[in-house]
């Protein structure tokens, strides 16, 4: 894949520093140098030590990424929400992991995307997971279609310029929920557990913002925006304020309202496309099982 820029500065600058500012890492430059890539200025081959002059056109060819043979293919069809040359956004269903684990090498979203990109015959065949979801969380999941695209969005994530919004059905002390509030309790690992988390004074800073959308005497629908990305953050925070997610048996959620997993859905994703500079805004309605519970709630 080839990317190009017209150098617009008045002072000369070495290519390596210019490319760093564009989000191209040293690792990616090494791949260009040693795996068949190419750098040129105004059509003439150059290396990264060359000083760009005003109005010169820099082009960099990034070599194609061959598939990782250890990542198996899963032929289960994808529900594609958005796709272009750089990114793929899909709807992840319930009870599907984001990536393989040691004893579960297949059946994940990464395996499904691997099959899809191979079937499409894309030159870049490495699966780049940008945003993950827990196995039992549904909704929007973002993949990059090449390493440069992944690096660019990773930078946006670190700078908190990618917005992910969730919807959750919660129970417990729903009368205590405010119309709008922010939970800032620290989150730490629960002693004796590899997976489970809890709030505590020795934990990591955590911030969950929510808006109350609908409420009955025993459950509520909330919109949520994460400002940090701790393990199980939404589940832990809502349990801590006395309103655990419906169906969430790990964090003491109500199991009697017709849903068999934590009632959590990633329903909105917003980011500025690093290459087109256009705003990508994807939205999904509640997953079917959550929708059934919600409709029963408001009847």
Dist CA 149 CA 171 (whole Å): 40
Phi-psi region of 220 (alpha: psi -120 to 50; beta: other; left: phi over 0): beta
Question: Among 113, 183, 142, which residue's Cα sits nearest to residue 268?
Answer: 142
| Contact between residue 60 and residue 37 where contact means Cβ atoms under 8 Å apart | yes
- Helix (H) / strand (E) element for 234: namely helix 233-240
Dist CA 266 CA 259 (whole Å): 17
Catalytic residue (choose from 134, 154, 181, 223): 134
Dist CA 208 CA 198 (whole Å): 14
Active site residue 254: no
- Going from the C-alpha of 170 to that of each of 133, 142, 179, 245, 259, the distances in angstroms are 18, 26, 14, 4, 11
Question: Among 113, 115, 116, which residue's Cα sits nearest to residue 130?
Answer: 113
How many helices and strands in the chain, by DSSP H and E? 6, 18
Dist CA 81 CA 140 (whole Å): 8
Active site residues: 134
């Amino acid at each position: 894949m080839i990317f190009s820029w017209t150098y617009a500065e008045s002072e000369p600058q070495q290519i390596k520093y210019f490319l760093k500012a564009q989000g191209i890492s040293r690792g990616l430059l090494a791949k260009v140098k040693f795996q068949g890539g190419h750098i040129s200025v105004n059509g003439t081959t150059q290396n990264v030590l060359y000083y760009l002059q005003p109005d010169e056109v820099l082009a960099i060819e990034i070599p194609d990424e061959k598939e990782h043979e250890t990542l198996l293919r899963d032929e289960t069809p994808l529900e594609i929400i958005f796709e272009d040359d750089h990114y793929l956004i899909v709807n992840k269903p319930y009870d599907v992991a984001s990536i393989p684990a040691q004893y579960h090498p297949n059946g994940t979203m990464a395996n499904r995307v691997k099959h899809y990109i191979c079937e499409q015959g894309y030159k870049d065949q490495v699966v780049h997971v940008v945003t993950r979801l827990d196995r039992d969380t549904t909704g929007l999941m973002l993949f990059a279609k090449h390493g440069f695209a992944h690096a660019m969005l990773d930078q946006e994530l670190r700078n908190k310029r990618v917005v992910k919004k969730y919807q959750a059905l919660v129970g417990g002390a729903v009368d205590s929920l405010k119309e709008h509030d922010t939970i800032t309790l620290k989150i730490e690992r629960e002693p004796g557990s590899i997976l489970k988390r809890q709030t505590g004074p020795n934990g990591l800073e955590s911030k969950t913002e929510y808006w109350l959308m609908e409420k009955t005497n025993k459950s509520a629908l909330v919109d949520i925006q994460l400002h940090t990305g701790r393990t199980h953050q939404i589940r832990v925070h809502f349990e801590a304020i006395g309103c655990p997610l419906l169906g969430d048996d790990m964090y003491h959620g109500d199991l009697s309202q017709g849903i068999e997993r934590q009632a959590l859905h990633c329903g909105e994703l917003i980011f500025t496309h690093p290459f087109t500079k256009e705003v990508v805004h994807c939205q999904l309605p509640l997953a079917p099982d959550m929708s059934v519970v919600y409709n029963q709630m408001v009847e």
